Amino acid sequence: MTTCPICKSELKSITKKHLDSKGHKDALTKAGIAPAHDPTLEVIKKHATPKKSKGSQTKPRLIPNKFNLIPNNVNERLNNLESIVGSLQKQQNEIIYKLENLYKKFDVKVSKGVERQLKEEDVFQVIKICVQNNVSRWIKIDDIISVLKLNQEQDRRALNKLLVKMFNNNLIDLAEGGDPKYPLIYQNKKFGMIAPQ
């Protein structure tokens, strides 16, 4: 005999039919327990034994249809995720293509030790392309350095001089932030972001 933990009934075996009985439901309500959290469910699970066929082999347990919806939902989500990733890769390839074309334009060979002659137009063209690729009008100074291929220290110094001149002439705005690798240090501040006026 088994005792129901909720209504204390003595039963040969606790079944789901017992869970639907009025006495059991009333005891659940008095105890303030939701049917989904009924501890009797655990007792049923412990005493459940798989049925055996005539050949004494256990039949494979069939999963109820409601659980078959889960894999379909997962597959649908994976398909959506693949679609989003594919779209992002396409956009990334377009940006890389534009930047590569820009790199070619600025691929000027300069002798070592010779400071590259940068113009305001060069900076504005890079800003324009970077702003088109970004949602924000603010871009990183490091992006300008990267696009213009300013690998030499003297080239970066030339850019910094030009940016300070453009800032003083109210052609550009400077802002702190952007986690710059090569910040523009001006008036005791480290600037990492730039935007056209």
- Token digits of residue 20: 């639907």
Amino acid at 134: N
Q: How confident is the model at residue 95 (pLDDT cuts 50, 70, 90)?
A: confident
Buried b (16+ CB within 10 A) or exposed e, 45-73: eeeeeeeeeeeeeeeeeeeeeeeeeeeee
Q: What is the pLDDT of residues 126-146, one digit of tens each?
A: 888 877 777 678 888 888 888
- What 3-state class would DSSP assign to 25? helix
What confidence tier does 109 reach under pLDDT thresholds 50, 70, 90?
very low
CB 37 within 8 A of CB 5: no
Tokens, residue 75: 């597959």
DSSP H or E stretch at residue 11: strand 10-11
Residues 15-69 have pLDDT tens digits of 888 888 888 888 888 888 888 788 888 777 776 655 555 555 555 555 555 544 5
Residue 126 CA to residue 194 CA, distance in Å, equals 11
7-21 pLDDT, tens per residue?
A: 888 878 778 888 888
pTM of whole model > 0.85? no
Helix (H) / strand (E) containing 144: helix 141-147
Sequence-distant (6+) residues with CB within 8 A of 106 are 122, 147, 148, 149
* Bridge partner residues of 190 (DSSP): 185
Whether 85 shows a pLDDT value over 70: the answer reads yes
Rg (alpha carbons) of the chain, rounded to whole number: 35
Burial level of 184, CB count in 10 A (0-12/13-18/19+)?
A: buried
Domain ranges of the chain: 2-47, 117-196
